[in-house]
A and B are shown apart, each in its own frame.
Chain A
Amino acid sequence: MTESWGQFKSFEGKKFKALDAEFTKEVSNLLGGQDLTACFQCAKCSAGCPVSDKVNIQVHEVMRMLLFGLKEVLETDMVWLCSTCYTCQERCPQGIDITDILFGLKNMAFKKGITPQGYIGARQSLYNTGRLYEPTDWERDDLELDPVPELNVDDTKKMLDKTKLMKLEEGE
């Protein structure tokens, strides 16, 4: 399947100038990245991945790109088309937290502005309302459900200001 996602679509004819060891180290320091370099390319991750047949670059290839220090990995479709199902992480014979590493890559890509549009809107709602969606009141009335407990949104805003959620791109 051809995806509109990701600028990096194939290894065909690609020449890489720099193998950046610092980048590999940076990813190893992410949440779940500690065992990254233990990957021996068995590709069991891709074998169980629900999007392997729907992406240009598969998850074991992402792992290889990380070991080679290829920053282009952030432009592959696999990063944002990972559904976070954790099948790869569950099955990795080397115990690598693959799905968690992909979360870290999403964070890195987001800071660079490489992200599906939906995530930009989701960030705004999470900041503005502390929630992703608002309750459907008529359904709740019909079923005689009590109102959803209130949230003081200043509380979540205070925290998200501290983590600079709305200014992530500036930290790049």
Chain B
Amino acid sequence: MTQSYEVFLGCAIPARFNNYESSMRALAKELGIKLIDFEGASCCGTVVLKSIDENSWLSMSGRNIALAEQRGHDIVTPCNGCFGSLKDTDHVLHDDESYRKKVNAALKPLGLEYTGKVKIRHFVEVLYDMKDEISKKIVKRLDGLKIAFHPGCHLIRPSNVAGFDDPELPGKVDELLELTGATSVHWDMKLRCCGSPLLIASEDVATKILQEKMVSANGAGANCVVTNCPACHTQFDIQQIGLKDDEGNSLELPALFVTQVLGIAMGIDPEVLGFELNRVSLDPINEILGI
């Protein structure tokens, strides 16, 4: 049976990482996952709004969920931030009647209601369910690609909300990546936050965290970083440019999306996967990727 979802892109992907959307859509097409445009989507709610005012966050996020509910669709998103925000809202509204009433009062003038029927999934969850199909479609092996995979926080924590993978020892996306012949290396700082949410409060602190992550990734012998989140990718493919350790050695490693790695191994056209938009040079791994 064909799976179908309304696809929630959020703000960061269309603004900065259209290669992520393009590669996600190409994978979905290849795997027969139907993606329906999310009409009327606003910002997911985001940790930014949750930080400012929780009632506004729940309303903003609850409206998106209620829109999908009205149309009878489940939601899939390729963004950890959107996934976390929508799941968190769903968790609060499901468990707490007083918040549910408050949000529904705000939604009523828009002709919407949250009742909790919609399933919210991350795109990598959907991919993981199709791991056997993906495995059969691998036509190009990526031997020699040593991936420092960064799961990102809101994909796995808090685990009672995210409900996807082990919060201390996640391995599901790594399993997917290794179907291609690539290695997902062990690195000490794998589970640490990328620092991206701090760019708004202190770029210095955000950069320090990124530096710690990249020292670890380089030390583990990785030749690229892979993410499944545009917020994390902002750190790895924008802030990382020119990043050095305390001795002045370059820490730069190419940054790829999960969908680009799987896509190239499945023989999808590199142009469609949007490698031209990757900002950190892909030269060190061009040959392995065959681009």
Contacts and interface: CB of A to CB of B under 8 A. Distances in A.
A168 B11 CA distance: 24
Nearest to B17: A139
B193 A149 contact: no
A15 B203 CA distance: 33
Contacts of B106: 159, 162-163
A119 B48 contact: yes
A156 B106 CA distance: 10
Interface string B99-141: 1000001110110000000000000000000000000000000
B56 A81 contact: no
Contact of A132 (B46, B51, B53, B204): B46
Given A1-B208, A84-B153, A133 B19 contact: no
B205 A156 contact: no
Contact of B42 (A3, A51, A80, A131): A131
> Chain B: interface secondary structure?
helix
Interface stretch (B68-76, B154-162, B172-180): B154-162
Contact of B18 (A89, A110, A130, A140): A140
Interface residues of B, number: 63
A143 B22 CA distance: 7
Contact of A119 (B52, B153, B154): B52
Interface string A140-157: 101101101111100110
27 contacts: A1-B204, A5-B201, A51-B198, A83-B153, A86-B157, A89-B158, A90-B158, A97-B158, A99-B158, A103-B50, A106-B52, A107-B52, A119-B201, A123-B49, A133-B12, A135-B14, A143-B18, A149-B41, A155-B40, A155-B63, A159-B107, A159-B110, A160-B60, A163-B56, A163-B59, A165-B52, A165-B53
Interface of B: 9, 11-12, 14-16, 18-19, 21-22, 25, 37-43, 46-56, 59-60, 63, 92, 99, 105-107, 109-110, 153-154, 157-159, 167-168, 191-193, 195-198, 200-202, 204-205, 208-209, 272, 274, 277
